[in-house]
Structure 1
Amino acid sequence: MAWDEWEQLKASAADKDAARMQLNGLPPEDRPNAGSPSGGFLATDQQDLAAIGNEAFKLYNRLWKEARVTSTDSTASDLSVQGFALGGALQHVSMRWEKQLGSVMDACALISNHMDFTNNAHAGDEIFIERRVSSIQTLEAGFDDDWEGRGKPNPVYAEKNEKTEKD
């Protein structure tokens, strides 16, 4: 690239009519859900999370009951003992099946447990926020001018003053 060409590129980049870089966002026409009411943000609620976790748990239980094949190993060993090459192949398929099934079952358990954890974590966050807000309201009520009523003496100090006047 020649020096003159570099200067031209710099000048065109500095020109007000030139394209400008936009950080932290896309132009509205390039956003796929720019017209959606949620503003394009993912929204979910506790029922959605619970439903996902429940389905993952049900799938895990079905896989445990229906997808495990225990008779294949004994069949493979019987065929191998009788001299059939099919026994070794069946044993190989059985081991691969168990490995893949274990991976799918682990994923289901992970999803189910994560959804339960997320539900509990959000519930704990809600309780924490609720307690903070209610404690702020209680504290704010203490600074309210009308909580005791105007012109009434505090009974704690009144007892002290009466004792000292009696003595």
Structure 2
Amino acid sequence: MAWEEWEQLRSQAAERRSTHTQLDHVDTGGGHSAGPGRYGDLKVGQDDLAKIGEHAFTLYDDLWKKGRTAVPSSEKAAGNLAGEGFALGSGLKHVATRWDEQLGSLRDACGHISQHMTVTKKIHATDDHLVGRRMSSIDALDAGFDERAGAHGGRNPVYGEPGRKDGRDG
């Protein structure tokens, strides 16, 4: 195979790959892509955020109440076994310690998710309120312009008759 032929095949393969890579579209099966607007955009409401936060908080509490139940008894058993000279005691102590550490990490993650959903809900509520206020002020501004301009598409009488240079009507 000649070098030129290799380069040509490589560029053709790159073209085929680049024409099929579309990160913001979904292939519908027939080679046609559907953009985000065709099937709808991702939407998350305040209720959705609240549910996620509530579930994370419930899991956080349940992990503390139910996930730690074996830790004290395992630590006691490990101490008793080690005191009697069994090597199993130190192994059980290691397992109990690691379980408690991992449980703490998982609880921290649940607490973080719960807190994040609460903060996100508050931030978006503030954003929604701000956008609503701005949109209503734009509507008021548009209404003011509409009153002065008359009918849509019509000539504003403030500027006088067409063709007169002084701008007066009469």
TM-score, with length taken from structure 1: 0.64
Structure 1 residues without counterparts, runs of 5 or longer: 147-167
Within a 5 Å distance, the mapping from 1:100-115 to structure 2 comes to 100-115=102-117
| 2:36 is the counterpart of 1:52 | no
Letter in 2 for 1:61: D
Structure 2 residues without counterparts, runs of 5 or longer: 150-170
CA contact (8 A) 2:74 2:96 kept: yes
Give the 3 Å change call, closer, same or farther, for CA 87–135 of structure 1 in structure 2. Answer: same
Counterpart secondary structure, 2:39: coil
Deviations along 1:19-75, one digit per CA (max 9) or x if unpaired, are 6943644654278x9599962643332212211111111011011111112232233
C-alpha RMSD of matched pairs (Å)? 3.6
Task: Please state how far the C-alpha of 1:79 moved relative to its aligned partner.
Answer: 2.4
Letter in 1 for 2:75: D
Letter in 1 for 2:148: D
The corresponding residue for 2:148 is 145
Counterpart secondary structure, 2:148: coil
Which region of structure 1 is more displaced relative to structure 2, 129-138 or 37-46? 37-46
Give, in whole Å, the separation in 2 of the partners of 1:54 and 1:86: 40
- When Rg is computed on C-alpha atoms for both structures, the one with the higher figure is 1
The corresponding residue for 1:74 is 76
Identity percentage of aligned residues: 46
The corresponding residue for 1:153 is none
The corresponding residue for 1:164 is none
By relative contact order (CA 8 Å, sep 6+), the higher-ranking structure is 1
